[in-house]
């Protein structure tokens, strides 16, 4: 079976996939969840840019896959990194699952970027802790997950700052049509961070991609609707003999 590598969001870490790793391992898949540089025990990279973060992911893939290409499953920021890795290291990737994500940083204008950074980083500048930020932010994503709050509370503030800045540099809209591997896109009907309208349009740009909408789901689908999410991913894997 094809190795699976799960990529977390900006407020996440490998623990965000606790409902996926044992499930897919139980089905026989070699399943791994990374900590992006600066998260968990993963060392920071400098400069903290898409090239260096993608290179770090490439090294992880090579270390766990024994030369076999993998399926990348990316949530939110992890979906951006999955797309970036495919552009830079296509031979390492056999399929993509892009979940609750987008093909470019939302908005696209410098003014939107400034507002986004101010909204995400401003509380840190005002002296709030990551735990306080998580307690306020997670409910706005349509989730009451205490695990999500706990994971985000543990993200180092300096890493969070770097990761938020990283998001604003991402734009791979032009490369969607060049994705040549099987691709699954999973959206939540109530997701305001990565709206389903954006994800459905994104799916339409990727040749042969498959689109799944989870009803009543916000931005944190893998944690909030793990059974539905796992079923959608498993069906995709089986249908492509992955």
Residues 163 and 158: their CA atoms lie apart, in Å, by 9
Average pLDDT over residues 228-239: 98
pLDDT at residue number 108: 55
CATH number at residue 120: 3.40.50.1820
Rounded to a whole number of angstroms, the CA Rg of the chain reads 17
Taking the model in full, what pTM does it have? 0.96
Average pLDDT over residues 14-35: 97
Angle among Cα 126, 35, 103 to the nearest 5 degrees reads 80
Question: Could you tell me the residue range of the domain that residue 232 belongs to?
Answer: 4-239
Residues 189 and 12: their CA atoms lie apart, in Å, by 21
Mean pLDDT of the chain: 95
Percent of the residues in the chain that have a pLDDT greater than 70, as a whole number: 98
* Other CB atoms within 10 A of residue 190 CB: 18
Counting the structural domains of the chain, the total is 1
Percent of the residues in the chain that have a pLDDT greater than 90, as a whole number: 91
Q: What are phi and psi of 9, to 5 degrees?
A: -90, -175
Which residues, at least 6 apart from 161, have a Cβ–Cβ distance to it below 8 Å? 121, 124
pLDDT at residue number 107: 54
pLDDT digits (tens, 9 = 90+) for 35-72: 999 999 999 999 999 999 999 999 999 999 888 999 99
Residues 121 and 142: their CA atoms lie apart, in Å, by 21
Average pLDDT over residues 78-103: 97
Asked whether residue 109 carries a pLDDT value surpassing 70, the answer given is no
């Amino acid at each position: 079976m094809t190795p699976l590598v799960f990529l977390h969001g900006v407020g996440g870490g490998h623990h965000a996939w606790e409902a996926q790793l044992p499930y897919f391992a139980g089905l026989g898949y070699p399943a791994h969840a990374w900590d992006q540089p600066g998260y968990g025990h993963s060392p920071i990279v400098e400069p903290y840019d898409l090239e260096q973060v993608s290179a770090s992911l490439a090294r992880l893939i090579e270390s766990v896959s024994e030369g076999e290409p993998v399926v990348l499953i990316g949530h939110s920021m992890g979906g951006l990194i999955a797309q970036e890795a495919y552009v830079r290291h296509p031979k390492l990737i056999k399929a993509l699952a892009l979940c609750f994500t987008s093909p470019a940083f939302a908005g696209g204008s410098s003014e939107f970027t400034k507002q986004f950074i101010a909204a995400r980083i401003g509380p840190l500048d005002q002296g709030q802790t990551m735990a306080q930020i998580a307690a306020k932010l997670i409910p706005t994503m349509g989730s009451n997950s205490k695990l999500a709050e706990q994971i985000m509370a543990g993200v180092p503030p300096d890493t969070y700052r770097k990761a938020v800045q990283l998001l604003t540099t991402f734009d791979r809209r032009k490369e969607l049509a060049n994705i040549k591997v099987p691709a699954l896109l999973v959206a939540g009907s109530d997701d305001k961070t990565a709206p389903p309208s954006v994800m459905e349009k994104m799916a339409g740009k990727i040749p042969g991609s498959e689109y799944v909408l989870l009803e009543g789901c916000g931005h944190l689908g893998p944690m909030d609707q793990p059974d539905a999410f796992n079923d959608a991913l498993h069906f995709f894997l089986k249908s492509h003999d992955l």
